[in-house]
Amino acid sequence: MRFTYASAIPVAIIVLAAAAPWLISSYELNLMARFLALAILAIGLVLVWGEGGILSLGQGVFFGLGGYALAMHLKLVMLDPGDIPDFMQWSGLESLPWWWVPFENPVCAILGVVLVPGLFAAGFSWLVFRRRVGGVYFALITQALALAFSTLLISQQAYTGGFNGLTDYSTLLGFDLASDDMIVALYWITLALVVVAFLGVRFLMMSRFGKLLRATRDGENRVRFLGYNPAPYKVIAFTVGAVLAGISGALFTLHAGVISPALVGVVPSIEMVIWVAVGGRNSLWGAVIGALLINFARDEISSAFPNIWLYGLGLMFVLVVSFLPDGIAGLFAANRSGRMAHLLKTLRPGRAA
Amino acid sequence: MNIMVPVEHETPDPRLLLAVDGVTVDFDGFKALNNFSMTLDRGSLRVLIGPNGAGKSTLCDTIIGRVRATSGRVIFKGEEITRLPEDEIVRRGICRKFQTPGILPSLTVRDNLAIAAQRDRRWWRSFGLDIRGTERERVDEVLEQVGLTDRQHETASLLAHGEKQWLEIGMVVATQADLLLLDEPTAGMGPAETSRTAELIRSLLGQHTVLVIDHDMSFVEQLDGRVTVLHQGQFLKEGSVSEIRNDPEVAAVYLGRAKDDAAPHA
Ligand SMILES: Nc1ncnc2c1ncn2[C@@H]1O[C@H](COP(=O)(O)OP(=O)(O)O)[C@@H](O)[C@H]1O
Ligand SMILES: [Mg+2]
């Protein structure tokens, strides 16, 4: 392969990111790790929405399933044998519900992070896509799912911790979660998973699967009348997106120390779509940058002016959709007719069309 | 449950590829096809003409399973396919070109053909990076045939209208289907492009059976196949091009529509 400066950029970025523990404070590192975890979800959305044209307003559900699966384990490992979590005691439960039991085992919990969102997404999307429901209807169904999920979590306080969710964890696999070493280790694990997710989805996009997925997005009937059943391609894309959302949720829960209904409902699900819209839904780089940028901005702005944040986010979304349909990534489109050139042209005085 | 009645007991004619047998398509009381029957022999070329709204596209839709017959049967290679899923019908060897070009705009010209050429269409076989060698050769062949070799790496949406039509014909050909249904393949083409298309279609006849729908009489003459005339969902006439051109009944049907025909569309 020929060396080019452009191909060195990704390597430089990853090296820099891996060196972050020596460059920034432990607090900043934890923040960075949180947002990198969210970037994994954004990478999944590129496959689902950008490549597959499937607008999901329910990614929060899969994020939550992954997050809760791990959080259940973290709650259970703190307990003395035979004990049940504090919120269950307060709600008057006597013993651990049966479906909590497997999560005591760390391997089961980690499998649960992947399998619970994955199997749920596969079953759900198979039912829907097999019946050829798509587009806006699909988006609405997923939004209803997000609403139902957060409502269920809040209403079943005895089993889910209700509005407060699950919080106050201390150890994972025997390691103290609050120690500096653990924060660095979890950061590296997250960074590695971002790279794996990025490369994995990129491979899918380049394979024949990716081409068929794009073909289905552009002309489902043409694909069907070439002898393919389009449903499996959409189901797989949606399922991969859900698994990545689940992993993202589990990592986020570790870094943030909490998972709660407020993080997984309708509004967070819409925000997830906005990260990707702003970054560029057809670009993996764009999605990662969108997730990081918006979440850093949110961290800065919402602590200073808590009321302004949602308006700001909404405004940014409208601006991007109107002027940059390919998001930030569209500014750097490789072809000469890139958006940057186009934007400059339209902004040049006296040339307004 | 209905007991399946055996189709026909006389030995099926091995030359027979497709039989449309008494098909009626009823759209809420409007019969787009009315007890229509037709047969196609292997390797033959058939041209289907008829005024706008005669039911030509509906016939293609019915054969390919996009529209379901209210009554009647479609028999392909001796087996009834009337109620099979669309993708299954295609895998049995029928492929259709739509009236408005149905290409895959965001893929390259070559990838459009590669997707069509891939024989194994099961989803779990789709995780590789490229198609098989024999299919690659097939794609090269078809690119040559439709004259798009030089543009194979361009995004299909950048093609001119006529080239998109050829690309879609190419996709249909690349599937190696036995029966090709070409719905108005020359729509929006000038005379030069139209004759090239006629040549292209004639070059397919060794390997495929072709049913072409078109309005343009000069194109029909260049194709020089047997002509079936459809009128208001019913069979009107069948014959050679010159027989059909001199037929008073056909003339009457078209004369009533002379104004429409001056600018063929739909
Ligand atoms: N899905 C549909 N629902 C109702 N009417 C239809 C439908 N599809 C076609 N038609 C009607 O059936 C008739 C035949 O249409 P078509 O087969 O497209 O004609 P053409 O011979 O021009 O291709 C037309 O009158 C059309 O309006
Ligand atoms: Mg038509």
Q: Which atom of ligand 1 is nearest to the CA of B30?
A: 5
pLDDT of residue B7: 52
What percentage of chain B carries pLDDT values higher than 90?
A: 56
Does pLDDT of A350 surpass 70? no
Residue predicted with more confidence, A297 or A115: A115
Query: Phi, psi (5° rounding) for residue B227?
Result: -115, 135
Instruction: Please compute the mean of the pLDDT values over residues A348-353 and round it to a whole number.
Output: 42
User: Is there a domain that residue A340 lies in?
Assistant: no
Say yes or no: CB of residue B55 within 6 Å of ligand 1. yes
Say yes or no: CB of residue B266 within 6 Å of ligand 1. yes
CA of A16, closest CA in chain B: separation in Å? 31
Q: How far is CA A133 from CA A137, A161, B211, B252, in A?
A: 7, 35, 32, 45
Where is average pLDDT lowest: A149-158, B85-94, B130-139?
Answer: B130-139
| pLDDT bracket for residue A196 (50, 70, 90) | very high
Which of A9-18, A137-146, A216-225 reaches the highest mean pLDDT? A137-146
Residue B82 to residue B67: CA distance in whole angstroms: 10
| Residue A195 backbone zone (phi > 0: left; psi -120 to 50: alpha; other: beta) | alpha
Q: Is the Cβ pair A212, B126 closer than 8 Å?
A: yes
User: Which ligand minimizes its atom distance to the CA of B187?
Assistant: 2
Give distance in angstroms: CA of B44 to centre of ligand 2.
22
A195: which 2 tokens? 């790279």
User: Is there a domain that residue B135 lies in?
Assistant: no
Instruction: Please compute the mean of the pLDDT values over residues A10-37 and round it to a whole number.
Output: 90
User: Which residues of chain A make contact with B127, given a CB cutoff of 8 A?
Assistant: 204, 207-209
Q: What is the mean pLDDT of chain A?
A: 88
Closest CA to B118 of B146, B159, B148, B90: B90
Q: Is the Cβ pair A226, B129 closer than 8 Å?
A: no
Query: Using CB atoms, which residue from B86, B129, B131 is nearest to A225?
Result: B86
Say yes or no: CB of residue B33 within 6 Å of ligand 1. no
B44 in contact with chain A, both atoms CB, cutoff 8 A:
no
A156: which 2 tokens? 């079943």
User: Is there a domain that residue A76 lies in?
Assistant: yes
User: Is there a domain that residue B152 lies in?
Assistant: no
Q: Is the Cβ pair A228, B87 closer than 8 Å?
A: yes
Domains of chain B: total: 1
User: Which ligand minimizes its atom distance to the CA of B28?
Assistant: 1
A126 in contact with chain B, both atoms CB, cutoff 8 A:
no
CB A249, CB A63: distance < 8 Å: yes
Query: Phi, psi (5° rounding) for residue B184?
Result: 50, 65
User: Is there a domain that residue A244 lies in?
Assistant: yes
User: Is there a domain that residue B163 lies in?
Assistant: no
User: Is there a domain that residue B66 lies in?
Assistant: yes
Where is average pLDDT lowest: A89-98, A243-252, B147-156?
Answer: A89-98
CA of B117, closest CA in chain A: separation in Å? 9
User: Is there a domain that residue A285 lies in?
Assistant: no
| pLDDT bracket for residue A229 (50, 70, 90) | very high
| pLDDT bracket for residue A353 (50, 70, 90) | very low
User: Is there a domain that residue B19 lies in?
Assistant: yes
Instruction: Please compute the mean of the pLDDT values over residues B23-39 and round it to a whole number.
Output: 93
User: Is there a domain that residue A349 lies in?
Assistant: no
Range of the domain at B70: 1-93+216-258
Instruction: Please compute the mean of the pLDDT values over residues B70-96 and round it to a whole number.
Output: 92
Does pLDDT of B215 surpass 80? no
Question: pLDDT, tens digit, for every residue of B248-266?
Answer: 888 888 766 554 444 444 3
Could you tell me the pTM of the whole model? 0.88
Give the mutation candidate from A214, A218, A226 for the B interface (greatest B CB count, under 10 A): A226
Give distance in angstroms: CA of B66 to centre of ligand 1.
13
User: Is there a domain that residue B57 lies in?
Assistant: yes
Where is average pLDDT lowest: A34-48, A165-179, A283-297, B46-60?
Answer: A165-179
Domains of chain A: total: 1
pLDDT of residue B249: 86
Question: pLDDT, tens digit, for every residue of B95-118?
Answer: 999 877 789 999 999 999 999 998
| pLDDT bracket for residue A15 (50, 70, 90) | confident
Give distance in angstroms: CA of B54 to centre of ligand 2.
8
User: Which ligand minimizes its atom distance to the CA of B67?
Assistant: 1
Give distance in angstroms: CA of B181 to centre of ligand 2.
12
A325 in contact with chain B, both atoms CB, cutoff 8 A:
no
CB A59, CB A241: distance < 8 Å: yes
User: Which residues of chain B make contact with A201, given a CB cutoff of 8 A?
Assistant: none
Query: Phi, psi (5° rounding) for residue A333?
Result: -55, 140
pLDDT of residue B136: 87
What was the ipTM of the complex prediction?
Answer: 0.84
Instruction: Please compute the mean of the pLDDT values over residues B163-170 and round it to a whole number.
Output: 92
Question: pLDDT, tens digit, for every residue of B5-19?
Answer: 455 555 667 788 999
User: Is there a domain that residue A318 lies in?
Assistant: no
Question: pLDDT, tens digit, for every residue of A121-147?
Answer: 999 999 999 998 888 999 999 999 999
Does pLDDT of B23 surpass 60? yes
| A229: nearest CA partner in chain B | B87
Give distance in angstroms: CA of B38 to centre of ligand 2.
18
Give the mutation candidate from B66, B84, B87, B138 for the A interface (greatest A CB count, under 10 A): B87
Residue B55 to residue B20: CA distance in whole angstroms: 14
pLDDT of residue B251: 84
Residue B168 to residue B171: CA distance in whole angstroms: 5
Q: Is the Cβ pair A225, B103 closer than 8 Å?
A: no
Where is average pLDDT lowest: A2-6, A203-207, A222-226?
Answer: A2-6
| pLDDT bracket for residue A341 (50, 70, 90) | low
Q: Is the Cβ pair B98, A223 closer than 8 Å?
A: no
Does pLDDT of A335 surpass 80? no
Q: Strand B226-231 vs strand B209-213: parallel, antiparallel, or unpaired?
A: unpaired
pLDDT of residue A346: 52
User: Cβ atoms within 10 A of the Cβ of B36, count?
Assistant: 24
Q: Is the Cβ pair A212, B106 closer than 8 Å?
A: no
| pLDDT bracket for residue B180 (50, 70, 90) | very high
User: Is there a domain that residue A273 lies in?
Assistant: no
CB B87, CB A224: distance < 8 Å: yes
Give the CATH number of the domain where residue B241 resides: 3.40.50.300
User: Is there a domain that residue B252 lies in?
Assistant: yes
User: Is there a domain that residue A284 lies in?
Assistant: no
Q: Is the Cβ pair A227, B126 closer than 8 Å?
A: no
Give distance in angstroms: CA of A216 to centre of ligand 2.
24
pLDDT of residue A80: 82
